[in-house]
Chain A
Amino acid sequence: ILNVEQSPQSLHVQEGDSTNFTCSFPSSNFYALHWYRWETAKSPEALFVMTLNGDEKKKGRISATLNTKEGYSYLYIKGSQPEDSATYLCALSNYGQNFVFGPGTRLSVLP
């Protein structure tokens, strides 16, 4: 089972700032890398699924990249808004059944 790490553990940014966090993993032996957003008192929601080295995905102000050769994925948020406040989870899935989740990055956007 791969160990998925995320950094930072938490961060606070001002409204309008752009920010990014990292998901790192020791091996490229997985099928897909997933990013989820988990708002307080809600269910985690899928943001992106990436499978290939060099993949880039974008949804509005949020984008993500995948570098399997160097073992990381970045999640970027441009012009952070208070509604972006959430915990962002990174997970790896294999061809079988398992998802391995990182501990998450808790983002607080201050108005």
Chain B
Amino acid sequence: DGGITQSPKYLFRKEGQNVTLSCEQNLNHDAMYWYRQDPGQGLRLIYYSQIVNDFQKGDIAEGYSVSREKKESFPLTVTSAQKNPTAFYLCASTPTSGGNIQYFGAGTRLSVL
């Protein structure tokens, strides 16, 4: 089935540790996104990528890094510089850049030990 797969579903990070969240899509979509959700807030954009080997910072990129080496993969690394990483992280994709429906993964919940 076509879709977006995020893994792991739950992730725990120790202080000072970098962790990587996986996002894979087999929809052949060009654009991919990472969002963060905190209680009572809307989804906030961390990074997005319109094409392979290119990505742009979103509204809250500090403390995060991404790569886009393959069209189907857009991993997000939460670095030790992110002081408040506990949140729910959603990955999404769209067929072309701008204005289209976003398709979402099921999310990863990150907690700090």
Contact = CB atoms under 8 A, between A and B. Distances in A.
Interface of A: 1, 4, 9, 31-32, 34, 36, 41-46, 49, 89, 91, 93-104
Contact of B42 (A34, A93, A101): A101
B106 to A, nearest CB: 5
B40 A93 contact: no
Contacts, number: 62
Contacts of B102: 34, 36, 44, 46, 91, 99
A100 B42 contact: yes
Interface centre among B40, B45, B98 (most CB of A within 10 A): B98
Tell me the dominant secondary structure on chain A's binding face. Answer: loop
Interface string B46-83: 00101000001011000000000000000000000000
Interface residues of B, number: 27
Contacts of A31: 98-99
Contact of B98 (A97, A100, A101, A104): A97
B35 to A, nearest CB: 8
Contacts of B105: 43
A43 B43 contact: no
